[in-house]
Amino acid sequence: METKIFDLATEYEAGMQEAAREISSGGLVVFPTETVYGIGADAMNPAAVAEIFAVKGRPSDNPLIVHICEPGQAGELAREISPMARRVMEAFMPGPFTAVLKCRDCVPACVTAGLDSVGIRMPGAAHARELIRRSGKFIAAPSANLSGKPSPTRVQHVIDDFAGKVPVILNGGEAAVGLESTVCDLTGDIPLVLRPGGVTPEMIRDAAGDVRVARAVLEGLPEGAKAASPGMKYKHYAPRARVVVVDGESAKAIAICVNSMYDREVNKGKNSLIFCTDEHRPLYGGRRTYSLGRDLGEEAHRLFDALRQADKDRTDTIFFEAVEPRGMGLAVMNRIIRAAGFQIVHAAEEG
């Protein structure tokens, strides 16, 4: 299949027209949002939705998020929106936020994976909303990566995974947030964060008065447990490299521990790499580092690109400095700790 790639900075009209036509006629489009790139299709067309699962190699029991372009459309998909849910949605939609609500019968079972709920998101990126508007459809879209790979934050990532497999890719440059949306169950009395993202639990508490975070976010699922969000049970975000997350009393304690593990790996002939902040780079001497930036926002923004880059460089082991699991740090830790199989090395014990 020939893939047409449009740069939204220079070919906005042509790209939008082609993409909207493709969606409304049952085809697939890769499009940018402020979180990550999505691979979308008409949510009400089961054959088109099936094609998303096929192209990604995604397990059919993992539901898709449905994207809307007007707040009022949530009520066309959800059959129950509590006053609490309404307040939270008003605060964070449009934005990097997905509301899980009881769904109406019109939402196909292949989208919800047979659940009684549906994830609804109104993207903050204006071009994503424009695509939804012009197509005249709700767009079901997971992240535009092959199943098991880090989500795409740059157009090159989606070209690597989907060139020749989808008719249209819209290039919107680098995704601003860089991690997928916060998935939040709003069906109960208290919002429950199933997947942390750009909208933090602290922000949700401010809007709703209270918030809970699913334990699986940092601890993974116990053997045999049922996932509140099916995506939790898959080993996502897994680069080829082994990922070792290290925490400790101080940056220096972490660095001492990382350096000794790094040197052991290198002595075994392993290609090792340290993900760290700009500030901590000097603590690692001449060792191979990849700077994730100056703060948590930059770490979130660069993390998936760094993971993909590490694979391209044939890295065997990635060491990652743990961050405080608060604010955006919770989302960053959730992604990296999943890549590490929920194991953390504590510097005091190891160093």
Please enumerate, by residue number, every residue annotated as part of a binding site.
35, 58, 62, 67, 121, 141, 143, 151, 181, 195, 237
- Per DSSP, the three-state class of 114 is coil
Measured at the alpha carbon of residue 312, what is the angle toward residues 306 and 315, in degrees to the nearest 5? 80
Asked if residue 143 binds Mg ion (CB under 5 A), the reply is yes
Q: What is the DSSP string of 119-163?
A: EEE--S-HHHHHHHHHHTS-EE--BSS-TTSPPP-SHHHHHHHHT
Query: How many CB atoms within 10 Å of residue 116?
Result: 9
Q: What does the alpha-carbon distance between residue 334 and residue 332 come to, in Å, rounded to a whole number? A: 5
Binding to Mg ion, residues 64-123 (CB under 5 A)? none
Peptide bond between residue 59 and the one before it cis (omega within 30 degrees of 0): no
Residue numbers belonging to the annotated binding site for L-threonine = 35, 67, 121, 141, 181
Amino acid symbol at 36? V
Q: Which is nearer to ligand TXA, 56 or 242 (CB)?
A: 56
Shortest CB 99 distance to Mg ion, Å: 17
Shortest CB 200 distance to ligand TXA, Å: 15
Query: Which range binds Mg ion by CB under 5 A, 101-109, 139-147, 238-246, 317-325?
Result: 139-147
Q: Which is nearer to ligand TXA, 5 or 251 (CB)?
A: 5
Q: Which is nearer to ligand TXA, 98 or 277 (CB)?
A: 98
Interface residues with ligand TXA (CB under 6 A) are 33, 35-36, 38, 62-65, 98, 100, 112, 115, 117-119, 121, 141-143, 180-181, 183, 194-195, 229-231
Residue 323 binds which entry of ligand TXA, Mg ion, none, with Cβ cut-offs from 5 to 8 Å by kind? Answer: none
Residue 243 binds which entry of Mg ion, ligand TXA, none, with Cβ cut-offs from 5 to 8 Å by kind? Answer: none
Residue 127 binds which entry of Mg ion, ligand TXA, none, with Cβ cut-offs from 5 to 8 Å by kind? Answer: none
Q: Establish how many alpha carbons lie within 13 A of residue 59's alpha carbon, considering only the half-sphere containing its beta carbon.
A: 10
Shortest CB 96 distance to ligand TXA, Å: 6
Q: Are strands 242-247 and 289-291 parallel, antiparallel or unpaired?
A: unpaired
Shortest CB 179 distance to ligand TXA, Å: 8
Query: How many CB atoms within 10 Å of residue 250?
Result: 9
Q: Which is nearer to ligand TXA, 100 or 243 (CB)?
A: 100
Residue nearest to ligand TXA (CB): 231
Residue 33 binds which entry of Mg ion, ligand TXA, none, with Cβ cut-offs from 5 to 8 Å by kind? Answer: ligand TXA
Q: Which is nearer to Mg ion, 15 or 142 (CB)?
A: 142
Q: What is the DSSP string of 221-278?
A: PPTTPPPSSGGGGS--S--SSEEEEEE-SSHHHHHHHHHHHHHHHHHTT--EEEEE-T
